[in-house]
Amino acid sequence: MRGPKFSRRLMLGGAGAVITLPLFESFIGDAAYADDSFPARLICYYVPNGMHMAAWTPSQTGSNYTLSPILQPLAPVKDQILVLGGLSNTPAQPDGPGDHAGGTSGFLTAAHANKSETEVRLGISMDQVIANQIGDATRIRSMQIGIDGGGNSGGCDSGYSCSYTRNISWASETQPLSKTTSAGVVFNQIFEGVDPNASIEEQERRKLYKTSVLDYVHEQTQALEQKLGSFDRAKLDQYTTGIFELEQRLDKAGLVCGATEEPSNTSDIVEKVRIMNDLMVLALQCDATRVITFMLGNAGSNRSYPFLGASGGHHNYSHHQGDPVNHAAIQAIDTWEVEQLSYLLQRMNEVPEGTGTLLQHSQVFFSSEIEDGDAHRHRNLPVILAGECHGAFNTGRHIDYEPNKSTNGPSIANLFLNMMAAMGVNQGSFANSTGTLGQLG
Amino acid sequence: MALFKCLGLLSLVALLACDGVIGGAGGPGGGDSFSGPGGDAGAIGAQVMHRLNRTEYRNTVRDLLGTQLDPAASFPADDVSLGFDNIAQVLTISPLQFELYEQAAEDLTVEALTTGVRDAIVFCDPNVSSCRDDIFRELASRAWRRPTTDAEIIRLQQLVDVALNEGQGMEEGLELAIRGILLSPHFIYRPELEDDPSSTEPHLLNDYELASRLSYFLWSSMPDDALFDAATSGRLRDEAGLRDEVDRMLSDPKAQALVDNFAGQWLRIRSLDDHVPDYATFPDWDDSLKSSMSQETKMFFGDFLRGDVPMDELLMTDFTYLNDRLAAHYGLPFDLGPELERVSLEPTDSRFGLLTLGSLLTVTSTPTRTSPVKRGVWILEQLLCSEPPPPPPGVEGLPQDGMSGGTLRDQLEQHRADPTCASCHNLMDPLGLGLEQYDAIGAYRTEDQGFPIDAGGELVDGQTFADGREMAALIQGDERFDLCVVEKLFTYALGRPPGSSEHPFLETIAQSSAQSGAQLPEIIKRIVTSEPFRTRRGTMEGSQ
């Protein structure tokens, strides 16, 4: 296992601060830890409804390019990002309509969703391939975070189960990993078990109790399996997996850092996204996990953004029909989304690790379920890959893999192979990949 | 009654719309005392093990422990299929969800042992072993919704021993056992056991499994003592006993769950929470109007649930529920206070039933304007169970601002001039345009952007209507409507879609209900006493 051990409990935040990043005195400028002793980390950042491509795509390629209007907020980290054009996700193409479901379920799986309300079948997502290999090194194998739970009723997308429109992490063909939209839950996941007032003895006893209850539940689960048909048995496996993961966690080392204050659960979108961004940085910084997926909205979100002057629904605007009013609205929303990404990247860049920063040791994949909201295309996807991830990526460039926009460029799954390799996970292939992407290093 | 026809031209729609007639009426199922609608008993749809969804978990811990806590509030949202969040096949469990269950079990237990509800759970001296047996037997059988075995009780006592062996007191021992009960898969799931796990032959549920189906259908919660007793005494095994239980349960306040969860999703009342009309366009919109609308629809549906009004009058009522705010919003001259009251409507009033409820008109609009297409699709999908074929890529959507060319009707008519659009939009648009006299927050209007509104139209079968009221009457008279109500209830009741071989059951229920002008409680009883509700067919992997 890589990475330094920290015995010291660090406190963060002052009174009143919702969350303040802890400045790790133990890290700062400490040459005792070489940069490569810090692990590689991954965030996959999903935004709904595609992009206004005319204002997204930079007009030049290479390192000497000018940021497009939507990408302007990334100016402070321009040399740490790659803008990638021309990649396609053809398996995400749905059977008939349902592009938001197809694109979102295919977002990290590059798999083709079985069109059904009840028979959900897709494929494992690339973040879970990574978590399966490196997840045991951290207390939490991977985290799934989002903004919208999707509590409203009504159909999701054209005959597809909402499972396809609300989840981007898939543990298997049939198991989406539901995300939490509660800042409190994320916070507790990161800091669970941290009780500065408990003695070692008490902590040991609590662990024994938890283990005893989990053993008991495991026995019951096994006994129940005997009385179920094979389909229900398979369903109950999810419960067993939950038991195992929690048991394993009890055996993992304590936290790298501690916290003083739990964030409030807010319904204000701006505040909530900021808190979630902060929490993601915290989770990586504390090495609570190394793999995070984040959904800034669900597939085809129709959220309105009155504070951007876009009070019609996002999805409605995205079907712009070439109308300049709609173009202006989606450009405002797209730019705001990129601002949120930029905030995250800047926070990561503020976290010193050895002689580098958290951002330099990480990769952040940002994209959407489709290209243009009106055309619903699954090619020329808008992609940003941020962070060098220990030198795996030569950032600061715009690369266009398929200048002909009516042709399907290389599969996004090829990029996933590069991203997995950067995490130390070498896969010969993934989904419809044909090999790693060139030009990235 | 079949006012809408299935047109060969629209093959996909026709297929869906006519699906109900396949197979014909089945013979009587099973050799038991039930005289309910028949069908092929061998054709019972496969049932997947159900886990409690968030609402069910919340209600169950409330009824089990009387807790003030609401751990379910932080659970991930349940995935929705078929318009409902209780569809067993997509109710999965992630490690995060399990972790939250584990935390909830601990928090609920600590609370239960330290607050006023303790005496109800710890009703004897727990230092006496036989008392602990009683405590565990009582709590576990309620939590697991079935009698426990001696072996299960012995195993819970072993959890107590873990704490005692650590030199800790009985309290910690009790805590561990109760945590175990609340994290057991028998609590989190609603297992229906197979005598022969390798068989997919249908078999009758046992009494307790049936009681659970009943209580989660009607209450979204666990059985109460009376239902548990009914199961124990075998009263659920005959039709009269089952019907009596439904009557009793529907008169219980917990039946509000059917309003909140069934109607809340079917009639999209819940969607109102997430809907934000554009303030600049609709400065009247505020939380008070929103909650009045939500309340109106719930109380409106409540009348049907109480059996005050036959279900096939849903679209054409002479009443609704209003307060001062809503009456003013609707432009109706009632003198009302802030509380909603039942008011009588005249045939000349602009409100006439389900389709003119503000909540429904609002959530089927965009933030800035009405959407006749959304409204039409909603009617087709939710009232006629006839899903229109979705649009081909790249053609959906109208500009939302700066529209030119007159009313939405004019725009949509241009749209339908294109034959590829017309085939579907001829189905949806007339239904939505019939409601154009209600704006995007449900207020009555006669003009759209200065142009007079024509709410008349023609259905695909050639029947014409002059306005929304006439259109509602046509929809209400469509036999697909009767069948659709049954299909929605069935789907919600069983947490799965009806199998194609189960359609004869639904048809029989729908036909008999339509003939007799049945009330909703009667339709519920016919579903509950039907073969599919009382029977289980397991499923093997790959055999779905």
The chain-wide mean pLDDT, for chain B, equals: 88
21-80 in chain A: CB under 8 A from chain B: none
Say yes or no: B149 contacts chain A, CB-CB below 8 A: no
Is the CB of B83 less than 8 angstroms away from the CB of A154? yes
438-477 in chain B: CB under 8 A from chain A: none
Structural domains counted in chain A: 2
A235 contact residues in B (CB cutoff 8 A): 48-49, 92
Say yes or no: B157 contacts chain A, CB-CB below 8 A: no
Query: How many CA atoms within 13 Å lie on the side-chain side of A247?
Result: 14
Q: Where are the domains of chain B?
A: 35-50+198-251+480-544, 51-190, 263-391+406-477
CB A43 within 8 A of CB A284: yes
Are A270 and A352 part of one and the same domain?
Answer: yes
A131 contact residues in B (CB cutoff 8 A): none
Mean pLDDT of B482-505: 95
Q: Across chain A, which distance is largest between two alpha carbons, in Å?
A: 67
Contacts of B139 (CB under 8 A, 6+ apart): B64, B121, B178, B181
- Among residues A253, A271, A286, the one where a domain terminates is A253
| Model pLDDT, residue A41 | 98
Are A211 and A290 part of one and the same domain?
Answer: no
Say yes or no: A250 contacts chain B, CB-CB below 8 A: no
DSSP 3-state of B37: coil
Are A167 and A299 part of one and the same domain?
Answer: yes
Query: How many CA atoms within 13 Å lie on the side-chain side of A429?
Result: 5
Tell me which H or E stretch contains B51. Answer: strand B50-51
pLDDT in tens, B445-454: 999 888 999 9
Using alpha carbons, select from B235, B221, B163 the residue that is nearest to residue B190.
B221
Say yes or no: B397 contacts chain A, CB-CB below 8 A: yes
Structure tokens at A253: 């080392």
Are A415 and A353 part of one and the same domain?
Answer: yes
Is the CB of B381 less than 8 angstroms away from the CB of A232? no
Structure tokens at B6: 């299935």
In which region does residue A396 sit, left (phi positive, over 0), alpha (psi from -120 to 50) or beta (all else)? left
**Averaging pLDDT over each range in A31-45, A297-311, B10-24, B383-397, which range is the top one?**
A297-311
Which residues in chain A land under pLDDT 70? 1-33, 151-155, 193-196, 253-260
Is the CB of A235 less than 8 angstroms away from the CB of B368? no
| Model pLDDT, residue A9 | 29
DSSP 3-state of A365: strand
Mean pLDDT of B251-263: 98
275-314 in chain B: CB under 8 A from chain A: 276, 278-281
Q: What is the DSSP letter of A43?
A: E
| Model pLDDT, residue B11 | 30
Which residues on adjacent β-strands are paired with residue B154?
none
Are A101 and A183 part of one and the same domain?
Answer: yes
Say yes or no: A207 contacts chain B, CB-CB below 8 A: no
ipTM computed for the complex: 0.88
Candidates B179, B191, B381; nearest CB to A228 = B191
B536 contact residues in A (CB cutoff 8 A): none
Are A235 and A131 part of one and the same domain?
Answer: no
Where do we find the tokens 């002793």? A37
To the nearest whole Å, the CA of B73 is away from the closest chain A CA by: 9
DSSP 3-state of A157: strand
Is the CB of A326 less than 8 angstroms away from the CB of B94? no
Is the CB of A227 less than 8 angstroms away from the CB of B194? yes
- Which one is predicted more confidently, B252 or B449? B252
Which phi and psi (to 5°) does residue A305 adopt?
-125, 70
Query: Could you tell me the pLDDT band of residue B31, with boundaries at 50, 70 and 90?
Result: very low
| CA nearest to A120 within chain B | B90
Are A88 and A177 part of one and the same domain?
Answer: yes
Using alpha carbons, select from B222, B215, B216, B221 the residue that is nearest to residue B248.
B215
To the nearest whole Å, the CA of A58 is away from the closest chain B CA by: 24
Q: Which residue type occupies A54?
A: A
Whole-number percent of chain B with pLDDT over 90: 73
To the nearest whole Å, the CA of B266 is away from the closest chain A CA by: 7
Say yes or no: A139 contacts chain B, CB-CB below 8 A: no
| Model pLDDT, residue A14 | 28
Please report, for residues A33, A259, A282, B155, B201, the alpha-carbon distance to residue A24 in angstroms, rounded to integers and kept in the order given: 13, 12, 11, 47, 63
pTM to 2 decimal places: 0.89
| CA nearest to A185 within chain B | B74
Say yes or no: B162 contacts chain A, CB-CB below 8 A: yes
Please report, for residues A31, A55, A375, A419, B103, the alpha-carbon distance to residue A401 in angstroms, rounded to integers and kept in the order given: 39, 18, 20, 16, 48
The residue segments making up the domain with residue A230 are: 195-253
How many helices (H) and strands (E) are present in chain B, helices listed first? 24, 10
Is residue A296 in a domain?
A: yes
Are A145 and A230 part of one and the same domain?
Answer: no
Say yes or no: A178 contacts chain B, CB-CB below 8 A: yes
Instruction: Give the separation between CA B35 and CA A277, rounded to whole angstroms.
Output: 60
Is the CB of B193 less than 8 angstroms away from the CB of A228? yes
Are A290 and A216 part of one and the same domain?
Answer: no
CB B321 within 8 A of CB B327: no
Are A286 and A345 part of one and the same domain?
Answer: yes
Say yes or no: B96 contacts chain A, CB-CB below 8 A: yes
- Among residues A253, A277, A293, the one where a domain terminates is A253
In which region does residue A238 sit, left (phi positive, over 0), alpha (psi from -120 to 50) or beta (all else)? alpha
Are A283 and A141 part of one and the same domain?
Answer: yes
Say yes or no: A156 contacts chain B, CB-CB below 8 A: yes
Instruction: Give the separation between CA A295 and CA A280, rounded to whole angstroms.
Output: 12
DSSP 3-state of A82: strand
pLDDT in tens, B134-156: 999 999 999 999 999 999 999 99
A166 contact residues in B (CB cutoff 8 A): 77, 79
Say yes or no: B497 contacts chain A, CB-CB below 8 A: yes
Is the CB of A375 less than 8 angstroms away from the CB of B105? no
Is the CB of B92 less than 8 angstroms away from the CB of A159? no
Is B28's pLDDT higher than 80?
A: no
pLDDT in tens, B293-310: 999 999 999 999 999 999
Beta strand pairing call for A81-85 and A397-400? parallel
CB A97 within 8 A of CB B392: yes
Say yes or no: A374 contacts chain B, CB-CB below 8 A: yes
103-122 in chain A: CB under 8 A from chain B: 117-120
Candidates B74, B199, B399; nearest CB to A321 = B399
- Which one is predicted more confidently, B179 or A7? B179
CATH number at residue A264: 3.40.720
Instruction: Give the separation between CA A91 and CA A408, rounded to whole angstroms.
Output: 12
Which residues on adjacent β-strands are paired with residue B464?
B458
| CA nearest to B101 within chain A | A242
pLDDT in tens, B190-219: 999 887 888 878 899 999 999 999 999 999
| Model pLDDT, residue A172 | 95
Contacts of B130 (CB under 8 A, 6+ apart): none
Candidates B83, B99, B396; nearest CB to A246 = B99
Say yes or no: B169 contacts chain A, CB-CB below 8 A: no
Is residue A371 in a domain?
A: yes
Are A178 and A226 part of one and the same domain?
Answer: no
Is residue A286 in a domain?
A: yes
